[in-house]
Amino acid sequence: MDTYPPSVNELVEAYSESGIPRPLLVDEVRKAIDERQWDKLDERIEVLKRLSLQEVVNGTGVILHTNLGRASWPSTFSGAPINLEFDLNSGSRGSRQNYIGRLFANLCGTESAMVVNNCSSAVLLILSALAHERGVAISRGEMVEIGGGFRVPDVLELSGAYLVEVGTTNKTRREDYERAINANRDVSMIMKIHQSNYKIVGFTESTEMQELSGIGVPLVADIGSGLLDENCFWLENGPPNWLIGEPGARQTLLQGADIVTFSADKLLGGPQAGIIAGKKDLINKCLNHPFARAVRPGGLVLSSLQDLAYKYLNRNWEEIPFWKMAVTTVDELQERAENLKIGTPVPLYSVPGGGTLPDVEIPSFGIKINDDISSQLRDMVDDNLPIIARVEDGNTLLDLRTINPALDEYVKSSLKQIL
């Protein structure tokens, strides 16, 4: 290595085509010089490029890959001014929640709905608006942590509500809830939390929504993953087998829940958001709570969700990438794998992901490359789209279920280059 570093300017100039904004390049070059690493700038700039947000190819077979942004949902938002909080009818101030709320109320078959930033904020808002300084009855079997850090008892504490534990880890019955309510602990609601990401097996008993209806306090169901309807009315052939048993928002409300909450970027297949749907008076309390403003989504998300709601309402499920990936047949995937004519076509299992359906494996097809080439596949030489693969037993697997068929040729040529 040269003892004296080249000039900052010269080095910055050398990477001017990297796509990294100049001030950041200057920063990085100075750091490299301080650390006497100017001969490693190639690598350092590559690391920086890989840090920026960009499209990737999801070859992992995890349909809702949390690290890849869960559901893939293309936004059509142009960024032009929109009537976000402007009522075109009256020419005065409107509500961003009004129309989107109507769409989701209709989709869930209920009175009212609103949208917040994610399901965690939905739960936080409900607890704050409906249970502040009051008790919330939750089964001991549903005191869960979802993803990294969404722990039900912690969210409860944050909201100012207090926990009234009910039943036991494996068995909770209606009488347990009744006892909690009658014990005069000022129980403001019962909250049922869907066991999205774990299972309790063996001798278990949980209380169904129907058994709790009419118990005297509002029933809130955090169903999390957000299947709109168990019958998947938008699919001609009904739900795929692996979805059987997953609670639908519609059915949960029909069975007596007063409110349901779910994520928009899990089984709904949309952008990151949280939906709260149910009884009008309860939703109004949420809308009027100061937290509602703190957790409200912007026009980018709301217009994108409106697009998604229209796809469901118009039964255009083929335009929802999540459902395309979910129902593609193994035969189709096998054909694509064979047409690639690179690597070895192999049967695989995809998983729903996103902390949903922990036991489910969905038969799939993809290709196997002997050796771990996952790092080369993530390379962005010539501004390539990074391809994210699965590595098993030292071999690289690409599951075609989660890859857009329009990218098959791209995947093939990338593999050719590497191999």
Ligand X SMILES: *Cc1c(COP(=O)(O)O)cnc(C)c1O
What amino acid is encoded at 129 in this protein?
Answer: A
Cα-based torsion angle of the residue sequence 198, 243, 323, 252 in order, rounded to the nearest 10 degrees: -80
Q: Which CB atom, from 38 or from 262, has the smaller least distance to ligand X?
A: 262
DSSP state of 407: G
Nearest approach, Cβ of residue 267 and ligand X (Å): 10
CB of 238 to ligand X, least distance (A): 23
CB of 195 to ligand X, least distance (A): 8
Matching residue, tokens 């290595």: 1
- Nearer to ligand X (CB atom), residue 248 or residue 355: 355
**268 vs 362 by CB, closer to ligand X:** 268
Q: Is 360 helix (H, G, I), strand (E, B) or coil?
A: coil
Residue 76 burial (10 A CB sphere; 0-12, 13-18, 19+): exposed
Half-sphere exposure of residue 183, counting CA atoms within 13 Å on the CB side?
A: 14
CA–CA separation, 134 and 27 (whole Å): 52
148 versus 214: smaller Cβ distance to ligand X: 148
Between 147 and 256, whose beta carbon lies closer to ligand X?
Answer: 147
Output the smallest distance, CB 260 to ligand X, in A. Answer: 10
Bridge partners of 220, per DSSP, are 191, 259
CB-wise, 9 or 198, nearer to ligand X? 198
Q: Distance between CA atoms of 57 and 400, rounded to whole angstroms?
A: 10
Alpha-carbon span 131 to 217, nearest angstrom? 11
206 closest CA partner among 136, 139, 254, 257: 139
| DSSP codes joined into one string, 141-176 | GG--EETTTEEHHHHHHHHT-EEEEES-SSB--HHH
Q: Of 147 and 363, which CB lies nearer to ligand X in the complex structure?
A: 147
Shortest distance in whole angstroms from residue 223 CB to ligand X = 6
Q: Report the b/e string of 89-110 with b at 16+ CB within 10 A.
A: eeeeebebbeebbebbbebbeb
To ligand X, the closest distance from the beta carbon of 253 in angstroms equals 16
Distance CA 323, CA 305 (A): 16
- Give min distance, CB of 266 to ligand X, in A: 6
- Residues lying near ligand X in the complex (CB under 6 A) are found at 118-120, 146-147, 150, 193-194, 196, 222, 224-225, 263, 274, 355
CB of residue 2 to ligand X, shortest distance in Å: 50
Chain residue at closest Cβ approach to ligand X: 224
- Gyration radius (Cα) of the chain, Å: 25
Residue with Cβ nearer ligand X (59 or 101): 101
Is 111:278 a contact under the CB 8 Å cutoff?
yes
User: Residue 178's Cα: distance from chain center in Å?
Assistant: 34
* Pairing mode, strands 145-146 and 135-139: unpaired
Residue 198 or 315 with smaller CB distance to ligand X: 198
Question: How far apart, in Å, are the Cα atoms of 290 and each of 129, 285, 287?
Answer: 9, 10, 8
> Closest approach of Cβ 356 to ligand X, in Å?
6
Shortest Å distance, C-beta 155 to ligand X = 9
**Nearest to ligand X of 352, 366 (CB atom):** 352
Output 196 or 414, the one with its CB closest to ligand X.
196
Q: From its phi and psi, is residue 348 left (phi > 0), alpha (psi between -120 and 50) or beta?
A: beta
Min dist. Cβ of residue 67 to ligand X (A): 13
Chain position carrying tokens 């075109």: 88
